[in-house]
Amino acid sequence: MIEQYEGEAMTVGALFHRDSQKSLLTDMADALESMSCHYTGHVVSTQRSAQVDRWGQSTGTIREEYSQEPLKELQSKLGERGEKIIRAGFKHRKAGPMILSIREPSTNSGYFLVDLAFASDELGIPVEARKKEDRSSAKWRWRFTLKLLDLICGAPGCLYAGAGNEVDVPTPEEITTNKMMRQSLPAVWGLPSSLCDSRGRVTEDVLSSGCPAAVEQWNDHVTAIKIWSPLDVVPADHDAEAIVLGFLGTVL
């Protein structure tokens, strides 16, 4: 079985527009390996035509297995059986067990949601209740999470990404119909710089609105908008969040 993390989940999620789930899975696996998040050989698969919901439930039969074959080879073998991998296990020496999930929100849409989940650990403890050693560990885990967000958001085909404790990155339909679980929206949004440059002025809108949210150009590929931080006792900046969602609602 895929090794599970304990307690609450720190999640990095992203929406991709890609030709196939197969290539996206291997690209994500390669990216994770570059950050020493190693594939464990454990996968969960289902029928290629099956729909998978946000909680990993499938309309088809779910199979879990372990293989010492490289992920790409195992994926090809399962593909010949008419199956697709929907979850794969990874592990980082310090962050612990990680689960990579991929699903298609709607059939043949070309959109794929990627979620990487691992233990929140100290980040799941209320800020005011953390001991000194908890604060140090929480700071490392949050920095690690943001590095993963940068990595995933900068991958080809990413439209937007987000990260936070027990969060869900919404689908395009949830954004445009305003049916999101607002209590679980990302603490930090990652937007590909190409999207910001060519499709709108989201960063300028946030800055000119007087919102306290931090807008950061992490590199040539990713712009980050921080709504709240799990390291501080500061209320979420819902005005900036509304600007980000409004921007995404117009460009998707």
Q: For 59-117, how does the pLDDT look when each residue is reduced to its tens digit (9 = 90+)?
A: 888 999 999 999 999 999 999 999 999 999 999 999 999 999 998 877 667 789 999 99
Q: Pseudo-torsion of CA 155, 156, 160, 165, nearest 10°?
A: -30
- Identify which of 149, 141, 140 has the alpha carbon closest to the alpha carbon of residue 186: 149
Rounded to a whole number of angstroms, the distance between the first and last alpha carbons of the chain is: 37
Please classify residue 234 by burial: count the beta carbons closer than 10 Å to its beta carbon, then call 0-12 exposed, 13-18 middle and 19+ buried: exposed
Look at residue 104 in the predicted model and tell me its pLDDT: 85
pLDDT at 201 over 80: no
pTM: 0.90
Mean pLDDT over residues 29-55, rounded?
Answer: 92
Q: Among 38, 46, 96, 94, which Cα is nearest to 71's?
A: 38
Q: Please state, in angstroms and rounded to a whole number, the distance separating the CA atoms of residues 205 and 123.
A: 30
C-alpha closest to that of 188 among 7, 12, 23, 28:
12
Place of tokens 């499709």: 199
As given in the structure block, the two tokens for residue 56 are 């990993």
pLDDT at residue number 81: 92
pLDDT digits (tens, 9 = 90+) for 144-187: 999 999 999 999 999 999 999 988 898 888 888 877 766 689 99
Whole-angstrom Cα distance, residue 196 to residue 246?
Answer: 13
How far is 103 from 51, CA to CA, in rounded Å?
8
Supply 210's token pair.
């007087």
Tokens of residue 219, six digits:
């590199």
Structure tokens at 251: 């460009």
Greater confidence (113 vs 221) lies with 113
Helices of type H across the chain: 21-33, 71-80, 132-153, 172-176, 193-199, 202-208, 238-251
Does position 23 have pLDDT exceeding 80, yes or no? yes
Burial of 35 (0-12, 13-18, 19+ CB in 10 A): middle
3-state DSSP helix/strand/coil % of the chain, to nearest 5: 35, 30, 35
Tell me the C-alpha distance between 145 and 75, whole Å.
27
